[in-house]
Amino acid sequence: MHDHVVRNVFRSGFEMSELTWTSWVEPGRAGVEHHILWAPDDGGEDSAGLLLRFPPGAHGDFHEHLGYELMLVFDGTLDRSDGRSFSAGDLVVEGPGTRHQMSSRLGCTVLAIRSKPAVAREPSAGEIRNTAETATTGTHARPAASTAEESIVR
């Protein structure tokens, strides 16, 4: 593994032209691009570190985490399928068993670190919320974290 330095990371991923971005092409994903910082390997490494950029309207797949995931929003707004949104500077830590789909109505850049892989799942009834507030104003409610499996640090 070589050292990887990204200067001035708290900016839009669309300004990070010095990085190699790759379209994340998998069923259920649309428009998301990633830059791999490190990835699982044959030597037993299960964790992954990625920079993600979501142009407006992009979304990931609906999935379940087998381990922990840390997401730090560098720029823009990251939207979660339960109706919450996270803005630049928000740090989200989710535990094993967490299920969601991430998207961005306005576009965003995110650091994502996973301790173990995630597995694509079909959402159950009520796991994806499309509220009238979201549809008409483009904003999500931001309730406080409600479980020990998820912590939001401001």
Q: Indicate whether 139 pLDDT > 90.
A: no
Choice between 151 and 18, residue whose per-residue pLDDT is larger: 18
Give the pLDDT score at 4.
Answer: 85
**What is the band of 2 on the pLDDT scale with cuts at 50, 70, 90?**
confident
**pLDDT per residue as tens digits for the range 59-107:** 999 999 999 999 999 999 999 999 999 999 999 999 999 999 999 999 9
Structure tokens at 46: 């299960």
Q: Indicate whether 115 pLDDT > 90.
A: yes
Q: 43: exposed, middle or buried (C-beta count within 10 Å: 0-12, 13-18, 19+)?
A: exposed
Give the pLDDT score at 15.
Answer: 93
Residue 51 to residue 34: CA distance in whole angstroms: 6
**Cβ-Cβ contacts under 8 Å for 43 (sequence gap 6 or more):** none
Give the pLDDT score at 90.
Answer: 98
**pLDDT per residue as tens digits for the range 26-70:** 999 999 999 999 999 888 899 999 999 999 999 999 999 999 999
